[in-house]
Amino acid sequence: MNSKDIIKINNEMRERLTEENKAIYEDMLLYIRLNGNKSEQQTEEVLFELLEHVLQAQEEGKSVQDIFGDDLKKYCDELIAEIPGEKKSASVLFGTYVVINFLAIISFTFGTFSFAAYHFFNLGSDKFTFSIGSAITIALIYLLLLYIFIVLVLKWIKKSLFKDIKPNKWVEFFQLWIICMVLIGLFILIPILLPDFGKEVSIPVLSLTVVGVILYVIKLVLNKKYRITK
């Protein structure tokens, strides 16, 4: 079985846990999975073994702490240290998938909204004019911001695990909302503040929509061939 098959079985078997054990196990699962530099196959095998131990303990009337100890975070850290790192090719493939998906969303959204704003509300232009040098710089900054955003969210999630009293959902939502608003604000400000440099090019805004669709199809093909997310 590959990692995706194990995940599917894990999701089904997890429903046999009690509410208390399920909450604890899912904290362990999230904490271990969030270490993205580890082999996905080995990670899912470890999580499956953990689930089998929890189910066995549940049938014997034991708690999760009885088999893993009171410091579950420390136990998970020890497991993570034993999991081998992900192959470089797999990491590159996943990174490429994320970048293509991100660029597809940006291109499609900007092209479609710009086209609709011009033709239906007479706003803006049906041409997108940009300087090649600044456009490449902006794209690289956007990807860096996306990386920072993902790292911050993952760290935020990890900090919320293994707590007897879970954080208020509204507080969590507000914190995430602030992070998202800062990210969106930077996305808007960077093209405004960055001076233009390089050769100037004009293309129909609808071509950006087409580029977005092409990138999205490429993403689907990659996902189907290599089973990156499913």
Give the tens place of pLDDT for each residue, 192-219. Answer: 999 999 999 999 999 999 999 999 999 9
Residue segments in the chain with a per-residue pLDDT below the cut of 50: none
- At residue 40, φ and ψ (nearest 5 deg) are -65, -40
Identity of the amino acid at 113: F
So what's the pLDDT on residue 230? 62
Residues with Cβ within 8 Å of residue 85, at least 6 apart in sequence: 37, 38, 39
Q: The pTM is what?
A: 0.77
- The full DSSP string for 150-163 is HHHHHHHHHHTSS-
| Rounded Cα distance, 3 and 134, in Å | 41
What confidence score (pLDDT) does residue 30 get? Answer: 93
User: Residue 86's pLDDT is what?
Assistant: 81
pLDDT at 91: 80
Residues 6+ apart with CB under 8 A from 145: 183, 186, 187
- The pLDDT, as a whole number, for residue 167 is 66
Task: Name the helix (H) or strand (E) containing 201.
Answer: strand 200-204
d(CA 116, CA 79): 52
The pLDDT tens digits for 139-171 are 999 989 988 998 888 888 888 888 766 667 788
> What domains, with CATH codes, occur in the chain?
3-82 (1.10.1900), 88-226 (no CATH)
pLDDT of residue 145: 92
Q: Which pair of structure tokens corresponds to residue 225?
A: 């061939």
